[in-house]
Amino acid sequence: MGYITTDDNVQIFYKDWGPRNAQPIVFHHGWPLSSDDWDAQMLFFLEKGYRVVAHDRRGHGRSSQVDEGHDIDHYAADAFAVAETLDLRNAVHIGHSTGGGEVARYVARYGAQAGRVAKAVLVAAIPPLMLQTDANPVGTPLEVFDGFRAALEGNRAQFFRDVPAGPFYGFNRDGAQVHEGVIQNWWRQGMMGSAKAQYDGIKAFSETDQTEDLRAITVPTLVLHGEDDQVVPIAASALKAVKLLPNGALKTYRGFSHGMLTVNADVLNADLLAFVTG
Protein backbone atom coordinates (compact mmCIF):
# COMPACT_ATOMS: atom_id res chain seq x y z
CA MET A 1 0.00 0.00 0.00
CA GLY A 2 1.13 3.53 -0.62
CA TYR A 3 0.50 6.81 -2.45
CA ILE A 4 1.34 8.22 -5.85
CA THR A 5 1.24 11.93 -6.65
CA THR A 6 -0.46 13.09 -9.85
CA ASP A 7 0.71 15.88 -12.14
CA ASP A 8 -1.73 18.26 -10.41
CA ASN A 9 -0.33 17.33 -6.99
CA VAL A 10 -3.11 15.02 -5.80
CA GLN A 11 -2.14 12.08 -3.60
CA ILE A 12 -3.84 8.86 -4.70
CA PHE A 13 -3.91 5.96 -2.24
CA TYR A 14 -3.46 2.48 -3.73
CA LYS A 15 -3.16 -1.18 -2.74
CA ASP A 16 -0.76 -3.44 -4.61
CA TRP A 17 -0.80 -7.06 -3.46
CA GLY A 18 0.73 -10.22 -4.88
CA PRO A 19 3.70 -11.22 -7.05
CA ARG A 20 5.10 -8.31 -9.04
CA ASN A 21 5.69 -10.56 -12.06
CA ALA A 22 2.10 -11.87 -12.12
CA GLN A 23 -0.61 -10.54 -14.42
CA PRO A 24 -2.21 -7.48 -12.81
CA ILE A 25 -5.94 -7.26 -12.14
CA VAL A 26 -6.83 -3.61 -11.55
CA PHE A 27 -10.07 -2.70 -9.76
CA HIS A 28 -11.90 0.64 -10.05
CA HIS A 29 -14.53 1.37 -7.38
CA GLY A 30 -17.94 3.00 -7.59
CA TRP A 31 -19.40 6.19 -6.12
CA PRO A 32 -19.06 7.19 -3.25
CA LEU A 33 -16.95 4.29 -2.03
CA SER A 34 -13.28 3.27 -1.99
CA SER A 35 -11.00 0.45 -3.06
CA ASP A 36 -12.24 -1.47 0.00
CA ASP A 37 -15.41 -2.26 -1.96
CA TRP A 38 -13.36 -4.80 -3.96
CA ASP A 39 -12.15 -6.78 -0.92
CA ALA A 40 -13.89 -10.01 -1.96
CA GLN A 41 -12.47 -9.88 -5.47
CA MET A 42 -8.95 -8.81 -4.45
CA LEU A 43 -8.62 -11.65 -1.96
CA PHE A 44 -10.05 -14.13 -4.48
CA PHE A 45 -7.64 -13.20 -7.28
CA LEU A 46 -4.72 -12.89 -4.87
CA GLU A 47 -5.29 -16.50 -3.84
CA LYS A 48 -5.26 -17.46 -7.53
CA GLY A 49 -1.76 -16.04 -7.92
CA TYR A 50 -2.55 -12.70 -9.56
CA ARG A 51 -1.20 -9.27 -8.73
CA VAL A 52 -4.17 -7.21 -7.55
CA VAL A 53 -4.22 -3.42 -7.56
CA ALA A 54 -6.90 -0.92 -6.53
CA HIS A 55 -6.83 2.78 -5.75
CA ASP A 56 -9.10 5.27 -4.01
CA ARG A 57 -10.41 7.84 -6.49
CA ARG A 58 -9.45 11.45 -5.74
CA GLY A 59 -11.68 12.78 -2.98
CA HIS A 60 -12.65 9.24 -1.94
CA GLY A 61 -11.33 6.93 0.74
CA ARG A 62 -7.76 7.76 1.73
CA SER A 63 -6.86 9.90 -1.30
CA SER A 64 -6.54 13.69 -1.16
CA GLN A 65 -9.78 15.59 -0.53
CA VAL A 66 -9.14 18.17 -3.22
CA ASP A 67 -11.91 20.47 -4.42
CA GLU A 68 -11.28 20.09 -8.17
CA GLY A 69 -11.02 17.41 -10.83
CA HIS A 70 -14.04 15.32 -9.92
CA ASP A 71 -14.88 14.28 -13.47
CA ILE A 72 -14.33 11.27 -15.71
CA ASP A 73 -11.29 12.81 -17.42
CA HIS A 74 -9.44 13.26 -14.14
CA TYR A 75 -10.58 9.88 -12.84
CA ALA A 76 -9.03 8.20 -15.89
CA ALA A 77 -5.87 10.30 -15.72
CA ASP A 78 -5.40 9.39 -12.05
CA ALA A 79 -5.86 5.70 -12.87
CA PHE A 80 -3.22 6.03 -15.58
CA ALA A 81 -0.86 7.70 -13.11
CA VAL A 82 -1.19 4.64 -10.86
CA ALA A 83 -0.68 2.21 -13.76
CA GLU A 84 2.33 4.15 -15.04
CA THR A 85 3.96 4.48 -11.62
CA LEU A 86 3.54 0.77 -10.90
CA ASP A 87 4.40 -0.09 -14.53
CA LEU A 88 1.31 -2.28 -14.91
CA ARG A 89 1.31 -4.15 -18.23
CA ASN A 90 -1.04 -6.69 -19.80
CA ALA A 91 -3.55 -5.76 -17.09
CA VAL A 92 -7.23 -6.59 -16.82
CA HIS A 93 -9.16 -3.50 -15.71
CA ILE A 94 -12.43 -4.12 -13.86
CA GLY A 95 -14.74 -1.24 -12.97
CA HIS A 96 -17.99 -1.12 -11.01
CA SER A 97 -20.62 1.58 -11.55
CA THR A 98 -18.78 4.92 -11.81
CA GLY A 99 -15.60 2.88 -11.82
CA GLY A 100 -16.87 1.33 -15.04
CA GLY A 101 -16.98 4.80 -16.55
CA GLU A 102 -13.44 5.34 -15.31
CA VAL A 103 -12.35 2.10 -16.98
CA ALA A 104 -14.04 2.98 -20.27
CA ARG A 105 -12.34 6.40 -20.43
CA TYR A 106 -9.00 4.95 -19.27
CA VAL A 107 -8.94 2.17 -21.84
CA ALA A 108 -10.19 4.41 -24.65
CA ARG A 109 -7.70 7.18 -23.90
CA TYR A 110 -4.66 5.33 -22.55
CA GLY A 111 -5.14 1.77 -23.78
CA ALA A 112 -2.89 2.41 -26.78
CA GLN A 113 0.06 2.57 -24.40
CA ALA A 114 2.03 -0.51 -25.43
CA GLY A 115 0.93 -3.59 -23.53
CA ARG A 116 -0.89 -1.73 -20.76
CA VAL A 117 -4.38 -3.26 -21.17
CA ALA A 118 -5.25 -6.86 -22.02
CA LYS A 119 -8.98 -6.93 -21.23
CA ALA A 120 -11.69 -4.88 -19.55
CA VAL A 121 -14.79 -5.63 -17.49
CA LEU A 122 -17.70 -3.27 -16.87
CA VAL A 123 -19.73 -4.34 -13.82
CA ALA A 124 -23.10 -2.61 -13.33
CA ALA A 125 -21.39 0.28 -15.07
CA ILE A 126 -22.66 3.72 -16.03
CA PRO A 127 -21.66 3.89 -19.76
CA PRO A 128 -22.81 4.96 -22.19
CA LEU A 129 -25.05 7.56 -20.45
CA MET A 130 -27.27 7.48 -17.38
CA LEU A 131 -29.11 10.77 -17.91
CA GLN A 132 -32.45 10.84 -19.71
CA THR A 133 -32.26 12.98 -22.85
CA ASP A 134 -34.18 13.19 -26.11
CA ALA A 135 -31.62 10.82 -27.60
CA ASN A 136 -31.63 8.60 -24.51
CA PRO A 137 -35.27 8.32 -23.39
CA VAL A 138 -34.60 5.20 -21.28
CA GLY A 139 -32.20 7.15 -19.05
CA THR A 140 -32.87 8.47 -15.57
CA PRO A 141 -34.48 11.94 -15.30
CA LEU A 142 -32.32 14.83 -14.10
CA GLU A 143 -34.72 15.35 -11.18
CA VAL A 144 -33.54 12.06 -9.66
CA PHE A 145 -29.92 13.21 -9.62
CA ASP A 146 -30.98 16.60 -8.27
CA GLY A 147 -32.60 14.63 -5.46
CA PHE A 148 -29.29 12.86 -4.79
CA ARG A 149 -27.55 16.22 -4.52
CA ALA A 150 -30.18 17.61 -2.18
CA ALA A 151 -30.03 14.53 0.04
CA LEU A 152 -26.24 14.59 0.19
CA GLU A 153 -26.16 18.30 1.00
CA GLY A 154 -28.98 18.05 3.51
CA ASN A 155 -27.88 15.01 5.53
CA ARG A 156 -25.08 13.01 3.97
CA ALA A 157 -24.83 10.55 6.85
CA GLN A 158 -28.50 9.59 6.59
CA PHE A 159 -28.42 9.47 2.78
CA PHE A 160 -25.44 7.14 2.95
CA ARG A 161 -27.42 4.90 5.28
CA ASP A 162 -30.55 4.88 3.14
CA VAL A 163 -28.85 3.97 -0.16
CA PRO A 164 -27.25 0.67 0.95
CA ALA A 165 -30.18 -0.23 3.18
CA GLY A 166 -32.47 0.13 0.18
CA PRO A 167 -31.85 0.00 -3.57
CA PHE A 168 -28.07 -0.48 -3.79
CA TYR A 169 -28.12 -4.11 -2.64
CA GLY A 170 -31.80 -4.74 -3.26
CA PHE A 171 -32.44 -4.93 0.47
CA ASN A 172 -35.73 -3.11 -0.16
CA ARG A 173 -37.12 -6.07 -2.11
CA ASP A 174 -39.63 -8.43 -0.49
CA GLY A 175 -37.88 -11.46 0.99
CA ALA A 176 -34.37 -9.98 0.67
CA GLN A 177 -31.78 -11.21 3.13
CA VAL A 178 -30.44 -8.01 4.69
CA HIS A 179 -26.81 -7.91 5.80
CA GLU A 180 -26.32 -5.19 8.41
CA GLY A 181 -22.54 -5.39 8.17
CA VAL A 182 -22.68 -4.71 4.44
CA ILE A 183 -24.79 -1.61 5.05
CA GLN A 184 -22.41 -0.36 7.72
CA ASN A 185 -19.38 -1.00 5.52
CA TRP A 186 -20.93 1.00 2.66
CA TRP A 187 -21.64 3.84 5.12
CA ARG A 188 -18.08 3.67 6.47
CA GLN A 189 -16.55 3.93 3.01
CA GLY A 190 -18.83 6.74 1.94
CA MET A 191 -18.23 8.84 5.04
CA MET A 192 -14.44 8.52 4.62
CA GLY A 193 -14.65 10.55 1.44
CA SER A 194 -15.11 14.23 0.71
CA ALA A 195 -18.64 15.62 0.47
CA LYS A 196 -17.40 17.98 -2.27
CA ALA A 197 -15.98 15.14 -4.37
CA GLN A 198 -19.11 13.08 -3.92
CA TYR A 199 -21.40 16.00 -4.76
CA ASP A 200 -19.47 16.77 -7.94
CA GLY A 201 -19.29 13.08 -8.71
CA ILE A 202 -23.06 12.90 -9.17
CA LYS A 203 -22.77 15.12 -12.24
CA ALA A 204 -19.79 13.11 -13.48
CA PHE A 205 -21.52 9.73 -13.31
CA SER A 206 -24.91 10.91 -14.53
CA GLU A 207 -24.16 13.39 -17.33
CA THR A 208 -21.00 12.07 -19.02
CA ASP A 209 -21.75 10.60 -22.44
CA GLN A 210 -19.25 7.80 -23.02
CA THR A 211 -20.56 6.53 -26.33
CA GLU A 212 -17.31 7.33 -28.11
CA ASP A 213 -15.23 5.75 -25.32
CA LEU A 214 -17.02 2.45 -25.82
CA ARG A 215 -16.58 2.59 -29.58
CA ALA A 216 -12.83 3.14 -29.11
CA ILE A 217 -12.23 0.11 -26.89
CA THR A 218 -10.80 -2.72 -29.00
CA VAL A 219 -9.66 -5.14 -26.28
CA PRO A 220 -12.04 -7.94 -25.23
CA THR A 221 -14.59 -6.39 -22.88
CA LEU A 222 -17.09 -8.20 -20.68
CA VAL A 223 -20.24 -6.39 -19.55
CA LEU A 224 -21.89 -7.78 -16.40
CA HIS A 225 -25.17 -6.40 -15.09
CA GLY A 226 -27.94 -7.36 -12.69
CA GLU A 227 -31.41 -7.41 -14.18
CA ASP A 228 -32.81 -5.89 -10.95
CA ASP A 229 -30.31 -3.05 -10.77
CA GLN A 230 -32.25 -0.12 -9.26
CA VAL A 231 -29.30 2.30 -9.40
CA VAL A 232 -27.97 1.91 -12.95
CA PRO A 233 -30.89 0.47 -14.92
CA ILE A 234 -29.79 -2.14 -17.42
CA ALA A 235 -31.74 -0.71 -20.38
CA ALA A 236 -29.77 2.54 -20.44
CA SER A 237 -26.39 1.00 -19.68
CA ALA A 238 -25.35 -2.60 -20.35
CA LEU A 239 -27.83 -3.32 -23.13
CA LYS A 240 -26.62 -0.24 -25.00
CA ALA A 241 -22.95 -0.58 -24.08
CA VAL A 242 -22.48 -4.05 -25.55
CA LYS A 243 -23.78 -2.85 -28.91
CA LEU A 244 -21.20 -0.06 -29.00
CA LEU A 245 -18.20 -2.18 -28.01
CA PRO A 246 -16.27 -3.59 -30.99
CA ASN A 247 -15.21 -6.65 -28.99
CA GLY A 248 -17.82 -6.87 -26.24
CA ALA A 249 -19.82 -9.64 -24.58
CA LEU A 250 -22.77 -9.35 -22.19
CA LYS A 251 -23.86 -11.47 -19.26
CA THR A 252 -26.87 -10.54 -17.14
CA TYR A 253 -28.09 -11.95 -13.83
CA ARG A 254 -31.73 -12.42 -13.01
CA GLY A 255 -32.67 -10.72 -9.74
CA PHE A 256 -29.18 -9.38 -9.02
CA SER A 257 -28.77 -5.86 -7.62
CA HIS A 258 -26.36 -3.02 -8.28
CA GLY A 259 -24.18 -4.24 -5.43
CA MET A 260 -23.90 -7.78 -6.76
CA LEU A 261 -20.10 -7.78 -6.55
CA THR A 262 -20.53 -7.89 -2.75
CA VAL A 263 -23.71 -9.84 -2.07
CA ASN A 264 -23.17 -12.27 -4.96
CA ALA A 265 -19.38 -12.34 -4.88
CA ASP A 266 -19.15 -16.10 -5.37
CA VAL A 267 -20.99 -15.90 -8.69
CA LEU A 268 -19.21 -12.76 -9.90
CA ASN A 269 -15.76 -14.03 -8.95
CA ALA A 270 -16.19 -17.26 -10.90
CA ASP A 271 -17.35 -15.40 -14.00
CA LEU A 272 -14.54 -12.85 -13.73
CA LEU A 273 -11.96 -15.60 -13.43
CA ALA A 274 -13.38 -17.40 -16.46
CA PHE A 275 -13.08 -14.23 -18.51
CA VAL A 276 -9.56 -13.42 -17.30
CA THR A 277 -8.30 -16.91 -18.10
CA GLY A 278 -10.37 -17.43 -21.26
Q: State the pLDDT at residue 114.
A: 67
pLDDT surpasses 70 at 200: yes
- Percent of the chain's residues with pLDDT above 90: 98
Average pLDDT over residues 76-101: 97
Active site residues: 97, 229, 258
Res. 115 pLDDT band, cuts 50 70 90? confident
Q: Give residue 196's region: left, alpha or beta (phi > 0; psi -120 to 50).
A: alpha
Domains, in order of start, for the chain: 2-277 (3.40.50.1820)
- Percent of the chain's residues with pLDDT above 70: 99
pLDDT surpasses 70 at 94: yes
Average pLDDT over residues 166-180: 98
pLDDT surpasses 90 at 1: no
Cβ atoms of 235 and 134 closer than 8 Å: no
- 262-276 residue pLDDT tens: 999 999 999 999 999
pLDDT, averaged across the chain: 97
Residue type (1 letter), 80: F
- Determine the Cα–Cα distance for residues 71 and 58; give it in Å rounded to an integer: 10
Res. 111 pLDDT band, cuts 50 70 90? confident
- 21-73 residue pLDDT tens: 999 999 999 999 999 999 999 999 999 999 999 999 999 999 999 999 999 99
Spell out the residues 6+ positions from residue 147 whose beta carbon is closer than 8 angstroms to its own: none
